[in-house]
Amino acid sequence: MVVPRLVVAAPSSGSGKTTVATGLMAALRARGLAVSPHKVGPDYIDPGYHALASGRPGRNLDPWLTDESRVLPLFLHGAAGCDVAVVEGVMGLFDGRGDTGFASTAHVARLLSAPVVLVVDASGQSRSVAAMVHGFATFEPGVRLGGVILNRVASDRHEALCRTALEATGIPVLGALRRDDAVMTPSRHLGLIPAAERGADAVSAVDRLGALIAASCDLDALLRLASSAPPLPGTPWSAADALAITSGPEAFARGTADGGAAVRVGPGRAGGGARPVVAVAGGAAFTFSYAEHTELLEAAGAEVAVFDPLRDEALPEGAGALVIGGGFPEMHAAELAANAPLLAEVAAFDGPIAAECAGLLYLCEEIDGRAMAGRVPGRARMTGRLTLGYREAVAVTDSPLTRAGERFHGHEFHRTAVDGAHAPLFRWRDGADGYGDARVTASYLHLHWAGRPDLAHRLVSAARTP
């Protein structure tokens, strides 16, 4: 499959990857191209800006969360029908899980056979830029550094010095961005403010980024670099194929817990019957979701209905299961607490509930003293400590999504804590997390269901039907 593509990477976080990647998507779309947006790693916020810039769902590529064998199929799925794909990296180019390069931007670039554009923060240096670029170009075989974009350039003189120094590396300079606070994206305790919370301001910010990149970078050269990527083998991922269950140690659905017989999920409700409604929380307080989750739920036979816990006073009609994903409920605790009718309905809901991070907090008795749904026996509070990282977790109790003893690959990223929940759902080497019972799966652990399609099947199978 021929997919022009490139990876936007950097030596470190804060160098300007998101500015360049989002602006490049917007600039290429303004040229009339269909742009496929992707993000390396588990982050939810950058893909929200990518979606605004490209007009297509932002999709994550994470070898840890989904297994490296699924990275290429997921990429092909997202890039289908597009003219060019832009992949934003994570952290520094070679930074992966722990002290390894696994799940790094370089790892994903190799899996995609994609050329890399390195965004370099040129502030406070000139000739040294060339030494840095030379090191990144030669550090790891198999990673092709195809160009450099200089960021935070102070003047024409500064730009000229950097360009002259880089000539010795043979790596072309494909753009140079001046320092411009007007294009900075506002942030808070967990990074950038999600696009969904900013509304029209986010749209205008993305438009400014597109104009900046169009004026500061050689779009034709970037497109030529993207087109130099070789054809890709393999078949695009699809939710329907992912739910064609196989047996063995990765057997899904009913065979997952005990390695039993395979189950194939066909059209309609998983296991037959009417199509249940799965209500998915959205709105400004619950902005974190991977696009493949909805696709898997629909392929498993569900009708997906989005509701906003900030505004809707009732669950979608006929809701048979709830999905309450990540976001920032702590920033909206007063408004969530004020929606007493919805909290009461969630408290009384007798179908399966799958909650992650923000969803866990919403199900607690309270957030920072404000009453919530009370389905999880615990109280959530803000802390000054950031908890983040990949986790290899073992489920220690059965719940709608988990079976005791199963292993999961997930990711944590939060500054809150829950006190009082004494029945953890997961354990790992140095910690425990979450709460689980017959109706509730609630945890800080973020999971990517493309790596575990059985989770969608389990939820739909357990959903109430009218």
Instruction: Please tell me the distance from the alpha carbon of residue 9 to that of residue 443, in angstroms, as a whole number.
Output: 31
In this structure, how many other beta carbons lie within 10 angstroms of the beta carbon of residue 124? Answer: 8
In the block, tokens 């994206």 appear at 185
The DSSP letter of residue 287 is -
In the block, tokens 């502030």 appear at 123
Instruction: Please tell me the distance from the alpha carbon of residue 227 to that of residue 305, in angstroms, as a whole number.
Output: 39
Cα-based distances in Å from 231 to 1, 6, 61, 86, 281: 5, 13, 19, 16, 39
Instruction: Please tell me the distance from the alpha carbon of residue 238 to that of residue 296, in angstroms, as a whole number.
Output: 9
Contact 358, 447 (CB under 8 A): no
Contact 59, 66 (CB under 8 A): no
Active site residue 162: no
Terminal CA-to-CA distance of the chain, rounded, Å? 44
Q: Which of 82, 162, 217, 357 is catalytic?
A: 357
- Over the range 435-455, which residues count as b (16 or more CB within 10 Å of their CB) and which as e? bbbebbbbbbbbbbbbbbbbb
Burial (CB count <10 Å: 0-12, 13-18, 19+), residue 351: buried
Instruction: Please tell me the distance from the alpha carbon of residue 379 to that of residue 365, in angstroms, as a whole number.
Output: 5
Instruction: Please tell me the distance from the alpha carbon of residue 42 to that of residue 290, in angstroms, as a whole number.
Output: 9
In this structure, how many other beta carbons lie within 10 angstroms of the beta carbon of residue 463? Answer: 26
The DSSP letter of residue 316 is P
Residue 29 CB partners (closer than 8 Å, separation 6+): 35, 53, 54, 55, 210
Instruction: Please tell me the distance from the alpha carbon of residue 456 to that of residue 449, in angstroms, as a whole number.
Output: 7
Instruction: Please tell me the distance from the alpha carbon of residue 401 to that of residue 46, in angstroms, as a whole number.
Output: 27
Contact 81, 35 (CB under 8 A): no
Q: Which residues belong to the active site? A: 357
